Copies of this chain bind each other. A is one copy, B any other.
Amino acid sequence: MNPKRVVIVGGGFGGVNVAQALKRAPVEVTLIDRRNHHLFQPLLYQVATGHLSPADIASPLRRLFKRQQNARVLLGEVTGFDVDKQEVLLRDGTVPYDTLIVAAGAGYHYFGNDEWQQWAPPLKKVEDALEIRRRVLSAFEMAERAVDPETMRAWLTFVIIGGGPTGVEMAGALAEVAHKALRHEFRRINPADARIILVQSPDYILPTYDATLSQKAAAALEKMGVTVRTKARVTAVSPTTVTLKAETNEEVIPARTVLWAAGVKASPLGEALAEASGASLDRTGRVQVLPDLSVPGHENIFVIGDLAHVLNEDGQPLPGVAQVAIQQGLYVAKLLQRRWNGKTARPFRYKNRGDMAQIGRQTAVVQIGSLRLVGVLAWHLWWIVHLLYLAGFQNRLIVFLQWAWSYFTHSRPALLITRQAEDQVPRVADVPLEPVQQT
């Protein structure tokens, strides 16, 4: 008998975990991804701020499945699904399935202002991180060369839009780059003069945490030199400014570097799947699935991770975080194996094992069960947990060493400006070069 063909779309936390959990199942697993690597996204902000290299947090998918004989990896771009023929449609081919698991994740969205993306890039892929690193470092370079004090100030102003974990971690890491890692490296500017503004429209940053933790996190950021602007909404982004609207007033902030960590939107493959299967989408494009994570009317199609709209016990949709995707992946693998053995499975239930976010060199916020921590102890928990979850022993060792090194020296090893485009140097017409400074 032909083994069951399980096709998984997406090599993120959900996809990799379901594929690995099917290791001993009598099936043929195909994992399809556009990229050749699994990315440990929780540490991507450290690539964007020169702390780690991409290879430290990205593992080639083929390596992860090297020893798993029933799995193969396919590098390809999925464009849609044919649920009648049971085929995944690729840009250049089709892959038939008996069981389909869509774990295509989510990206950022710009609330209908897609033109902002060029001035306020998101942080989702390795390439995004390198582009942000390039922009941040180029901004300091341009500030060093600026003649006009206002231009210099605009180059030294960094606005991060979105006060969730990614925004908070970016703001903290950026503050450390400005205050510590770049110290003494420039001759005309003091990088510590950089203004780092974290913009959040709700009342608090880190809204999924307790209010007291959010307040403490905000205080810790302020102490590090980050300006936290809550209850402020971004109404415009231009190459040189960000416009914030607070309750009563509107403010135009001259800023040359803007980073986007706000709205999340599910992968367009959610829409493709909805069209093919008749499933419904929620407001952010996630697929509404049954309690066993299958698509209504298609018991052989599952959606997991950031692309799935699943309610928790309070009737709130589950957040788009790694642990949800991992648990859903493991759940679907178990459900399938039970089903193939003629058994049924209980509905998926998410167990929140806690949330944590790094703020700075020795500070993190941790919320696990009834435990609430801010500070050094939280920070130790944070790095231990992140190291443990990182795939690959070699990566763990190297990341640990880089962290230890940076911790003691305040340095950042990867402050490189690289890009594949030909135009290598930031060029800005309104910044004439000054002759040698007689300081």
Binding site for B on A (CB under 8 A): 2, 5, 28, 30, 34-37, 50, 53-56, 58, 60, 62-63, 66-67, 72, 74-77, 90-96, 126-127, 130-131, 137, 141, 145, 182, 184-187, 394-395, 397-398, 401-402, 405, 409, 411, 413-421, 424-427, 429, 431-438
17 other A-B residue contacts (CB within 8 Å) besides A54-B416, A96-B435, A420-B420: A28-B436, A37-B416, A53-B55, A55-B413, A62-B186, A66-B185, A72-B187, A76-B425, A90-B433, A91-B425, A92-B431, A92-B433, A93-B435, A95-B435, A394-B402, A398-B398, A419-B420
Determine the chain B residues whose CB is within 8 A of the CB of A186 once the complex forms: 62
Contact A35 B394 (CB under 8 A): no
A416 vs B127: C-alpha distance when bound (angstroms): 11
Q: Interface residues of A: mostly helix, strand, loop or mixed?
A: loop
Determine the chain B residues whose CB is within 8 A of the CB of A66 once the complex forms: 184-185
Determine the chain B residues whose CB is within 8 A of the CB of A397 once the complex forms: 401, 405
Would A62 and B185 be within 8 Å (CB), given that A72-B437, A95-B435 are in contact?
yes
Tell me which of B126, B394, B401, B427 contacts A413 (CB under 8 A).
B394
Determine the chain B residues whose CB is within 8 A of the CB of A54 once the complex forms: 53, 414, 416, 418
List 9 contacting pairs A-B, 8 Å CB cutoff, sorted by A.
A36-B415, A53-B55, A54-B418, A62-B186, A95-B433, A126-B416, A126-B418, A131-B420, A394-B402
Closest to A424 in B: B34
Closest to A433 in B: B93
A420 vs B424: C-alpha distance when bound (angstroms): 13
What's the least CB distance linking A178 to chain B, in Å? Answer: 14
Contact A76 B184 (CB under 8 A): no
Would A35 and B417 be within 8 Å (CB), given that A5-B436, A56-B53, A77-B424 are in contact?
yes
Closest to A186 in B: B62
